[in-house]
Amino acid sequence: MNDTAAKPRHLQASRALALATTLLLLVLAIAGCGSSSSSSGNGVESKSANEIIAEASKAAKAASSVHVSGSIVSEGKQIALDLHLASGKGATGHLTLDGANVNLIEVGGYVYISAGEAFYKALGGTAAAQLLRGKWLKVPTSTSGFGSIASLTNLDSLLGGTLSAHGAITKGSTTTVDNQAVIGLVDSGKQGTLYVATTGTPYPVAIVKTGTNGGKISFSEWNQPVTLTAPPNAVDLTQLQGG
């Protein structure tokens, strides 16, 4: 890891990963999180689109945790995620970026990444791939190129850009999404529909985006316990860069 060619490759890979997660965040930025298990009507379907968004925003931001899953297409490449987020604590789960599966844990100011040899080779070259084979990589969330991952895995940061005004939004029809009764809120400018629960707490349930870069992101398991444990013996990126 002392060869000078490793660092430029690392910067290139981190920028690419940052771009992918940023694109994903842009899609998530017109959605919130969650589902509801209660069968009692909450009355949101009789309210205006802006009132429904306000209700959903209040409910989502008060949550302690959520499960975020689904996939989108970005620039012809599929990005999938399956993450459990804990408010103010971090997250655990995995991303799939253009076919490469990346396990990650964000806790205590660090992102821990476990991936295959091809991913590590793109990240830091052959020497990095050999060193990191079968190991976790420890990266400070402040590291350039990886901060967007931390934003994706932090519930507060994720919700900070969600459920805000995005132009004209109209009420759609009531339907069922992921076995949850919902009402759709259509943002024609972004070709997306946000579905909010019409029973129990009015959590956002899913966003479905149409068009070339379409896909679906679902939100469930609100306020369920999330266990975050830093992997032992992780390789510290800052030490590798300083070597």
For the chain, give every domain's residue range.
6-227
| CA separation for the pair 196, 183 (Å, rounded) | 5
Give 10's pLDDT tier (boundaries 50, 70, 90): very low
- How much is the average pLDDT of 79-101? 87
11 Cβ contact list (under 8 Å, min separation 6): 144, 145
- How much is the average pLDDT of 105-110? 90
Half-sphere exposure of 177 (CA within 13 A, CB side): 25
Name the residue among 93, 59, 2, 68 with its Cα closest to residue 215.
Answer: 68
Compute the Cα dihedral for 112, 156, 178, 169 and give only its sign. negative
pLDDT at 217: 85
Q: Which residue has the tokens 């080779």?
A: 121
pLDDT at 5: 42
| CA separation for the pair 71, 78 (Å, rounded) | 7
Give 98's pLDDT tier (boundaries 50, 70, 90): confident
pTM, two decimals, is 0.77
The Cα angle at residue 144 between residues 83 and 161, in degrees rounded to 5: 50
What mean pLDDT, rounded, does the chain reach?
76
pLDDT at 204: 85
Compute the Cα dihedral for 8, 9, 10, 11 and give only its sign. positive
Give 6's pLDDT tier (boundaries 50, 70, 90): very low
- How much is the average pLDDT of 147-176? 67
* pLDDT, tens only, 133-156: 889 999 888 776 665 566 666 665
Q: Which overall architecture, per CATH, does domain 6-227 show?
A: Clam (2.50)
- SS3 annotation, 48-109: CHHHHHHHHHHHHHCCCEEEEEEEEEECCEEEEEEEEEECCCEEEEEEEECCEEEEEEEECC
pLDDT at 79: 81
